[in-house]
């Protein structure tokens, strides 16, 4: 029988009508001058004909492993009530991983980039259960996964349980790859999880506190304040930049006695840092780091890490050297989790860096198992593998030759099924498929081109060279999750009316369009309120304006209004008060 205060009623209103809070935060965000960003994929509210399942119809059990970008965007977009979803993950939250480098230095707080999974799935009309546990075995034959709670106390030995599935969605992400370099596992920090970022933050402060202690030699002090980053990819570069800003904007004021001993080194095995970016960005970043005093060592491979030294080999001349360090952050690449490795063996996929799926994200050889995100790789089918089937399918009159008219009838399906064809035409600046055929059959008027199978092969022989693996980014994972959820939402419908391309090696059509990645651009924050942006259409932007674009996009991409408000207020707090250096 308690009476409600104004604020209780106020907050209750927000709980009951969450959209109310948007009003407030929108005004906050726009008040902050952030640019609105239209999200090409944010169609979470798509009202895809959500009908209640027929009475008596048993719901299909969907098990989702993992709550990262792929798993969460799948869950957010799944809205057909005919599924009974169980989510299993060792973390009960989703983390906005692109802000992890900011968390390492307290530019953004860890709590501001996480959102409980239960909160994300709560308002849905789909039944979703969440278990905080780790999956340790996938039994494909019996359609079961085996899980184990990662809490080690007070469970009366009931840590393990099994869950049945009709569909399994594997979205467990990947782990950092040490390339079996000795000493890395024991002595280096990684930057994959929120806990990693928090640990790095504490270690940076610890290093400064240690170096400030009395009775140390200059040499020891310098060693303790030598921060080494291995890997010049976007994460490593962003962390180096964040650390440099943290040291120079905040820590030098609090630790004036040791500020001259600080050194940041970035080791990169290749010839340039940020080598997935445009050359202009790479050059700008390298120059900026040089001005900032960040020592970028290119062509430098790490061969061993001991508890105090890191040994490197110069790629050109094989010279090795050993540098004393205080902290190493290892950010070189990713590899599969051991359970994924086991599962790959089980399904006969050996010698791969990730689970291979078809273009519909189904694990090769497993009809009801899907894999998305960093743990998977889409195995794009080659045109040349199917060339005979394509030819015979296109050759409707079985004449043994293909006319332009016949070809034009299947070209849409070919381009859908084999996106490399379209890419090839675009890169060769060809206006259409006819140009391609023309190449094989010179000196003939367009209408009268006729190709036999050998000529057809030679026309398409170069096409597969355009195939590229998708990068292991949040963007790919999120798009895959959204794609798969939409397929699941329309499963019944598309079983009846398939909408995919022609099955060249079978009859009828595929149920769905295959997954297509749409690259929206990529950022590389370089510190000092400068960011490099490479947007679609090779649009390059470097500097303060891109930093503001970065702020607005990262704010708009947040998974909830709570995290959005927190991240924006963290940025403001940092501008006003700087970053905190309490060791908690």
Please answer whether residues 506 and 390 qualify as being in contact, where contact means their C-beta atoms are separated by less than 8 angstroms.
no
Distance CA 38, CA 191 (A): 29
Binding mask 325-364 for its own copies (x = CB under 8 A): -x--------------------------------------
By CB under 8 A, is residue 248 in contact with its own copies?
A: no
Choose, by CB under 8 A, the member of 164, 195, 287, 499 that binds its own copies. 195
Please answer whether residues 265 and 295 qualify as being in contact, where contact means their C-beta atoms are separated by less than 8 angstroms.
yes
Closest alpha carbon to 181 in 271, 267, 70: 267
Q: How far is the CB of 209 from its own copies (least distance, A)?
A: 4
Stretch that binds its own copies, among 55-63, 108-116, 225-233, 401-409 (CB under 8 A): 108-116
By CB under 8 A, is residue 296 in contact with its own copies?
A: no
By CB under 8 A, is residue 583 in contact with its own copies?
A: yes
| Residues of this chain, 274-293, that bind its own copies according to CB under 8 A | 291
Q: How far is the CB of 177 from its own copies (least distance, A)?
A: 24
By CB under 8 A, is residue 21 in contact with its own copies?
A: yes
By CB under 8 A, is residue 157 in contact with its own copies?
A: no
| Residues of this chain, 445-464, that bind its own copies according to CB under 8 A | none
Cα separations in angstroms, 150 against 91, 93, 134, 389, 498: 9, 15, 7, 50, 42
Distance CA 160, CA 134 (A): 9
Q: Of all helices (H) and strands (E), which one includes residue 265?
A: strand 263-268
Please answer whether residues 523 and 551 qualify as being in contact, where contact means their C-beta atoms are separated by less than 8 angstroms.
no
By CB under 8 A, is residue 307 in contact with its own copies?
A: yes
Choose, by CB under 8 A, the member of 37, 131, 146, 360 that binds its own copies. 131
Neighbours of 533 (CB within 10 A): 22
| Residues of this chain, 523-562, that bind its own copies according to CB under 8 A | 528-529, 544, 561-562
Neighbours of 221 (CB within 10 A): 20
Choose, by CB under 8 A, the member of 128, 163, 204, 302 that binds its own copies. 163
Closest alpha carbon to 298 in 273, 330, 265: 273
As beta bridge partners, residue 227 has 264, 327
Q: Which is nearer to its own copies, 253 or 399 (CB)?
A: 253
CA atoms within 13 Å, Cβ hemisphere of 281: 27
By CB under 8 A, is residue 161 in contact with its own copies?
A: yes
Report the C-alpha dihedral over residues 104, 109, 111, 112, rounded to 10 degrees. Answer: -120
By CB under 8 A, is residue 177 in contact with its own copies?
A: no
Choose, by CB under 8 A, the member of 41, 149, 248, 513 that binds its own copies. 149
Choose, by CB under 8 A, the member of 53, 81, 116, 299 that binds its own copies. 116
Choose, by CB under 8 A, the member of 24, 35, 50, 276 that binds its own copies. 24
| Residues of this chain, 88-107, that bind its own copies according to CB under 8 A | 91-93, 106
By CB under 8 A, is residue 38 in contact with its own copies?
A: no
Q: How far is the CB of 54 from its own copies (least distance, A)?
A: 26
Strands of the sheet with 320-324, listed across from one edge: 300-305, 309-314, 320-324
Produce one character per residue of 118-128: b if its CB has 16 or more CB atoms within 10 Å, e if not. Answer: eebbeeeebeb
Distance CA 247, CA 105 (A): 9
Q: Which is nearer to its own copies, 22 or 426 (CB)?
A: 22
């Amino acid at each position: 029988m308690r009476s409600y205060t104004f604020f209780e009623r106020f907050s209750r209103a927000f709980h009951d009508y969450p959209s109310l809070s948007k009003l407030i935060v929108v005004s906050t965000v726009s008040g902050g001058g952030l640019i609105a960003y239209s999200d090409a994929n944010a169609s979470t509210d798509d009202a895809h004909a959500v009908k209640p399942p027929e009475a008596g119809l048993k719901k299909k059990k969907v098990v989702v492993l993992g709550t990262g970008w792929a798993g969460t965007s799948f869950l957010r977009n799944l809205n057909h009530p005919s599924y009974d979803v169980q989510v299993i993950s060792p973390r009960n939250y989703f983390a906005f991983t692109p802000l992890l480098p900011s968390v390492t230095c307290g530019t953004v707080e860890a709590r501001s980039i996480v959102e409980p999974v239960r909160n994300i799935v709560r308002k849905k009309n789909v039944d979703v259960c969440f278990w905080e546990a780790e999956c340790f075995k996938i039994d494909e034959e019996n359609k079961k996964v085996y899980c184990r709670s990662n809490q080690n106390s007070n469970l009366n030995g009931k840590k393990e349980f099994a869950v049945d599935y009709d569909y399994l969605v594997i979205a467990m992400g990947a782990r950092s790859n040490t390339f079996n370099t000795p000493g890395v596992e024991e002595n280096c920090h990684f930057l994959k999880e929120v806990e990693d970022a928090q640990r790095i933050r504490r270690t940076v402060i610890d290093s400064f506190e240690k170096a400030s202690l009395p009775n140390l030699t200059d040499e020891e002090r310098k060693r303790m304040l030598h921060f080494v980053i291995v890997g010049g990819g976007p994460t490593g570069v962003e962390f180096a930049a964040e650390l440099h800003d943290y040291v120079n904007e905040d820590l030098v004021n609090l630790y004036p006695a040791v500020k001259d001993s600080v050194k940041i080194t970035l080791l990169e095995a290749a010839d340039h840092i940020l080598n997935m970016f445009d050359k202009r960005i790479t050059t700008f970043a390298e120059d900026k780091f040089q001005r900032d005093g960040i020592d970028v060592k290119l062509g430098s491979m790490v061969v061993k890490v001991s508890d105090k030294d890191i040994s490197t080999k110069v790629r050109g001349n094989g010279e090795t050297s050993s540098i004393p360090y205080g902290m190493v952050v290892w950010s070189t690449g990713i590899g599969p989790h051991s359970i994924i490795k086991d599962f790959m063996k089980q399904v006969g996929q050996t010698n791969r860096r990730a689970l291979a799926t078809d273009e519909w994200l189904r694990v090769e050889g497993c009809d009801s198992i899907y894999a998305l995100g960093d743990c998977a790789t889409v195995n794009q089918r080659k045109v040349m593998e199917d060339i005979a089937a394509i030819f015979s399918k296109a050759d409707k009159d079985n004449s043994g030759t293909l006319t332009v008219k016949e070809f034009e009838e299947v070209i849409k399906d070919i381009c859908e099924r084999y996106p490399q064809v379209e890419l090839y035409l675009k890169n060769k600046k060809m206006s259409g498929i006819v140009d391609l055929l023309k190449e094989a059959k010179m000196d003939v008027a367009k209408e009268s081109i006729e190709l036999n199978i050998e000529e057809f092969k030679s026309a398409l022989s170069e096409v597969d060279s355009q195939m590229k693996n998708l990068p292991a980014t949040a963007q790919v994972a999120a798009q895959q999750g959204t794609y798969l959820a939409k397929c699941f939402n329309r499963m019944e419908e598309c079983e009846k009316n398939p909408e995919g391309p022609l099955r060249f090696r079978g009859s009828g059509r595929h149920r769905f369009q295959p997954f297509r990645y749409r690259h929206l651009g990529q950022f590389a924050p370089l510190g000092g309120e400068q960011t490099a942006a490479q947007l679609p259409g090779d649009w390059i932007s470097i500097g303060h304006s891109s930093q503001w674009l970065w702020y607005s996009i990262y704010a708009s991409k947040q998974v909830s209004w709570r995290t959005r408000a927190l991240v924006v207020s963290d940025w403001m707090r940092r501008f006003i008060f700087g970053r905190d250096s309490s060791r908690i």
